[in-house]
A and B are shown apart, each in its own frame.
Chain A
C-alpha cells in the first residue's frame, strides 16, 4: 500500500481521519504511470457530503472504464485539516493515489450549491493551482466545472478554464480525446481550450467578453475568438437505459449523509413549478425502464452490501412504474434486511400506500411541500396542489397511522401578500383540525406538525428569473409574521415552526444571478477567510459584506432590483432547450395566477422537445 499523503500525527489529530485515507471497497486502483489522463473529480465540501452525490459516482465509473484515464476523488478538507495543511505546506491530494492534485491533467469540480463557491477556491489554493484561470500555465491541471450552478457560471468565470453545461455522460469522452490529441501534437493549454470550446456543452469563459452599460446592466457579450460558438447547448442523455450507471459504487468507510444504494429512476420533472430551476433545466423528463432498475437494484445491493436503497429523482411519485418497482424491491430485497427509502412523495392515496408498504409508519414522519400558504400563491408558483389535495391527503395519512408531518414552505415568493404569509399558519391549522376531527380511537394521540420556511431565491432559467428579491429585514419580518400567526392559532401546541436567517439567502441570490463582476467579491471573501459558508458555524455575513463593499459589488443590484425582461441576462448565452419566450409566458401566467398543466397532461411547447426524446415524444412514434 502506498504511503498516505498526510503524516500520522496529523491524521490522529484531525476529526474523522477516515475522510482522507481512501481505500474504500470498490475504489478503482490503477497505476498512474499506465494511463494518459489523470482526472481528479472534486465535490467541494466534506467527504460525507461529497460521497453522497450520485453524479460523481456516475462519472467516476464512466471515466475509469477507459483504460487510458484514471479518475480519482478529492473533497474539501475540513477546517481543522485545512489549517494543518497550510501550516505544514502539505498539498491537497487525491484519495486513491494520495498524489498531489497539481500533478493531474484535470481537476473537475461539481458545483451543486452557491454556498460552496469559496470552497472551490480553497481546493485550488491547497492544490497549489493559481486561483485565476488567467494565471495558470502549462503545468497546471485544466480546471473544469459542472453541475446545476453552472447554468449561470459567470460569477465563477475567472476561476475556471472550462465549464461543462449539462449532463456529463454525453461529451466528456470527446473532451478527453481532444486533450489527448492536443498533447500528442504538443499543443498548448490555449490550443486545447480552443478545441474544447467547440465540443457541445463546453464553455470556455476566456473566449468571451462582456461589456456593461452605465447603469450596470449588460450592454453586450461578444466572442474574442472567431473559432468558438455564440451559444452553449446544454447536454442531455436521451437513452436512459443504455448509458453509464455504476454497478459497483464505492462503499464509504465512514458514515456518510446518504449511506445507501441509490437508484435514479428518472431525470427531469413534468411539474413545472415556476421557482424550480431543476424542473426547468433538466427537461425533458426521461425515465429509466422498470427492467433496468430491477436489474440494477439487485446488482447494487450485491456489490455494495448496503442495507438500504433509495429511489431518487426530482419527483419520484411521477415515475410511471413506481408501484411495480417498490413491490419488486420488497419481494427481492426485503427478506435480506434491505430497507427501501423514498424521498418526499406527493400526498395522495397511491403515494401513501407505497410509503406504508416500505416504512414503519410509527417511526417515520410524513414530509411534503405545499410551498405556499394560500391557493392563489400556489397557483402563482404552479405548484399544482390544491387545498383539497393537502387536506384530504393529510386525513388519509392520519387514518393510516401517521402522526408526524413535516411541511415545507417558501417565503418571499413573487406577489406574496400578508394573507399568503398568514396562510402558512392557516393551512397548518387546517391540517391539525383534520387530525383532531378523526375519532380518537381511529388516530394516534398526539399530532406533531413541523413547518419550515426557506426564503425564495430567483434562479436563472426559471419563469421567476427576472423577479425581485426582498430586503434582508423584510424576510425576517415575514418569518416573524408566520411565527406570530402560528403562535396565535388554535392548534398551536401541535405546530412547531422553523426558520433561519436570511443572510445566506441574500448571498445565494447574488451568486445565482450574478455576472462576472461578482467573482471579485467571492475572491475577496475567500481571502478574508470565508470557507464552508454552507456551514452555519463558519459563515460570516460581516466578511461577505466587507468583501462586496471593497470590490464594488452592489448586492441590491442583483437582488432587490429585479431584472427587466428586455435586458441581457448573464446566462443568456446558454441554451437549455427551454426558450426565453416560454419562461416569459410562464412569468405572465404566474402574475395572473394561471396554472399550467404538467408535461403529461398537455405539452406547452417549452422548447425541450428539440432534444428529440423524453416525455415530449412519448406516444408520438
Chain B
C-alpha cells in the first residue's frame, strides 16, 4: 500500500540537505520496524520518494514522503511509531493512505505556499509597502543565469498569489518538475523593483504547504488517517 507521510523540518534540522533527510528517514523507518517494501535487485532499497527538495536553510511545515508498505497495523500506529524516531525539529504531521494508482508526490506537485520575512538584523525596517504594486505589474522580469547563458524570463505567470501582512510575505508559487519558482527569486525581483541591492542571507523562508493541480494539498489526495 502507498502511504504519504507529511512532516515538518524546523530548527537545527534546516541545515541538513535533501540527501541527509532521505538517509535519516531510511534509518528511522528501519528503527521503527515499519514493514516497508524493498526494490528488487542486487542492492535492494526502501521504496521511498520525496516531494520537491528543500534548499539548505529553509524551514518547512509541509514536507512529503511517499512510502510503499507491505503491511500496516493502523495509521495511528505508524504516526506514533515514526514520531518516536524523530529528533527535535522533525515531526510527523499526518499519514495519508493513497489510492494504489496514485502518482508520486513529486510528479503531482504543482504549487507551494511560502512565508518569507526579511531579517531585521540584516536590513532594518525593510520597505515592504510596495508589494501590491510590485505584484500588480503585467510582467515581472528576472534574469536567470545558467552555466552557459543568461536569459530574461517573466515570472509573473508562476506567481499564483503574493501579499504582505505585518512584515510577513505570503506567496504561492509554481513548484515541481514542470514549472518551478523559488521564493528567493521573487524577493530578489522585489528588491530590484524598489531599487535595492540586497546582501546574501537577508531573508528567512518557510514552506508552509505543497499542492497538486487545483491547489489540492498533497495530504488531501487520499484517505487522511490519524
Q: In the complex, are the beta carbons of A8 and B201 less than 8 A apart?
A: yes
Contact of A1 (CB < 8 Å), options: B16, B57, B89: B89
Write out the residue numbers on chain A whose beta carbons fall within 8 Å of the beta carbon of B87.
23-25, 27
Which of A14-22, A48-56, A155-163, A570-578 lies at the interface with chain B? Answer: A14-22
A251 interface residue per 8 A CB criterion: yes
Q: Does A305 contact B (CB under 8 A)?
A: yes
The A-contacting residues of B in range 5-64, CB under 8 angstroms, are: 11-13, 15-17, 19-20, 23-24, 26-31, 33, 38, 42, 44-46, 56-57
Give which listed residue, B16, B17, B27, contacts A306 with CB less than 8 A: B27
Measured between C-beta atoms, what is the minimum distance from B70 to chain A in Å?
12
Give chain B residues whose Cβ lies under 8 Å from the Cβ of A610.
none
Residues of A within 8 A of B45 (CB): 337
Q: Is the CB of B201 within 8 A of A9?
A: yes
Contact of A304 among B15, B31, B44 (CB under 8 A): B31
Interface residues on A, range: 20 to 34
| A12 closest partner in B (C-beta) | B57
| Interface status of A4 (Cβ within 8 A of chain B) | yes
* B94 neighbours in A (Cβ, 8 Å): none
Bitwise, A234-269 to B at CB < 8 A (1) or not (0) is 000000000000000001011100000000000000
**Which residue from chain A places its CB closest to the CB of B85 in the assembled complex?**
A25
Cβ proximity bits A158-202 to B, threshold 8 Å, 1 near / 0 not:
000000000000000000000000000000000000000000000
Task: Check: B195 CB closer than 8 A to any chain A CB.
Answer: no
**Interface presence of A107 (CB below 8 A):** no
Count of interface residues, chain B, beta-carbon cutoff 8 Å = 30
Q: Judging by beta carbons under 8 Å apart, are A254 and B201 in contact? A: no
- On chain A, the residues within 8 Å of B13 by CB distance are 21, 23
Given contacts A305-B26, A305-B28, A360-B42, is CB(A21)–CB(B12) below 8 Å?
Answer: yes
**CB-contact partner of B12 in A13, A22, A337, A360, under 8 A:** A22
Residues of A within 8 A of B42 (CB): 360, 363
Which B residues are in CB contact (< 8 Å) with A255?
A: 19-20, 23
Q: Which of A23, A301, A304, A336 has the most CB of B within 10 A?
A: A23
Docked CA distance A254–B57 (Å) = 15
B73 within 8 A of A: no
Measured CB to CB, the closest approach of chain A to B28, in angstroms, equals 6
Residues of B close to A304: CB separation below 8 A: 27, 31
Q: How far is the CB of A258 from chain B (nearest CB, A)?
A: 14
A18 touches B20 (CB 8 A): yes
Contacts of B85 in A (CB 8 A): 25, 305
A122 to B25 Cα, complex, angstroms: 35
Residues in B with CB closer than 8 Å to A8 are 57, 201
Give B99-135 as 1s and 0s: 1 = Cβ < 8 Å from A's Cβ atoms.
0000000000000000000000000000000000000
Q: Are B26 and A18 in contact (CB under 8 A)?
A: no
**Contact present for A18 and B11 (CB under 8 Å):** no
Instruction: Please measure, in the bound complex, the distance between the C-alpha atom of A273 and the C-alpha atom of B46, giving whole angstroms.
Output: 44
Q: A540 contacts the other chain (Cβ, under 8 Å)? A: no
Check B15 against A302 for contact (C-beta < 8 Å): no
Verify A1–B31 contact, CB threshold 8 A: no
**Contact indicator A4/B12 (Cβ below 8 Å):** yes
Chain A residues, Cβ within 8 Å of B15:
11-12, 17-18, 20-21
Is A303 among interface residues, defined by CB-CB distance under 8 A? yes
Question: Which residues of the other chain, A, contact B17 by a CB distance below 8 angstroms?
Answer: 18
Q: Are A337 and B201 in contact (CB under 8 A)?
A: no
* A18 proximity list for chain B (CB < 8 A): 15-17, 20
Chain A nearest CB, measured from B16 CB (Å): 5
A305 surroundings in chain B (CB, below 8 A): 26-31, 85
Given A8-B57, A254-B16, A23 contacting B27 (CB threshold 8 A): no
B178 to chain A, nearest CB (A): 28
A68 within 8 A of B: no
| A307 contacts the other chain (CB 8 A) | yes
Roughly how many angstroms separate A304 CA and B31 CA in the complex, as a whole number? 6
Choose among A13, A21, A253 the residue that contacts B24 (Cβ–Cβ < 8 A).
Answer: A253
Contact with B along A290-327 (1 / 0, CB 8 A): 00000000000111111100000000000000000000
Q: How far is the CB of B41 from chain A (nearest CB, A)?
A: 11
Contact residues in B for A306 (Cβ distance below 8 Å): 27, 30
Specify which chain A residues have a CB less than 8 angstroms from the CB of B26 in the assembled complex.
305, 307
How close is B163's CB to chain A, nearest CB, in angstroms?
26
Least CB distance, B112 to chain A, in whole angstroms: 21
Q: Which of A20, A254, A255, A301 has the most chain B CB within a 10 Å cutoff?
A: A254
**Distance of A336 Cα from B57 Cα, bound (Å):** 34
Q: Tell me whether A254 and B44 are in contact in the complex, defined as CB-CB below 8 angstroms, given that A1-B11, A11-B15 are known contacts.
A: no
Q: Which residue of the partner chain, among A17, A20, A303, A337, contacts B31 with CB atoms under 8 Å?
A: A303
CB distance from A374 to the nearest CB of B (A): 40
Q: Knowing that A4-B12, A12-B15 are A-B contacts, what are 4 other residue pairs whose CB atoms are under 8 Å apart, sorted by A's residue number?
A: A1-B12, A8-B201, A21-B15, A22-B12
Among all A-B residue pairs, the 7 with the closest Cβ atoms: A305-B27, A305-B30, A305-B31, A17-B15, A21-B12, A23-B12, A1-B11
A-B contacts, 11 listed (Cβ < 8 Å): A1-B88, A13-B201, A18-B16, A253-B16, A253-B24, A302-B33, A305-B31, A305-B85, A306-B27, A307-B30, A337-B45
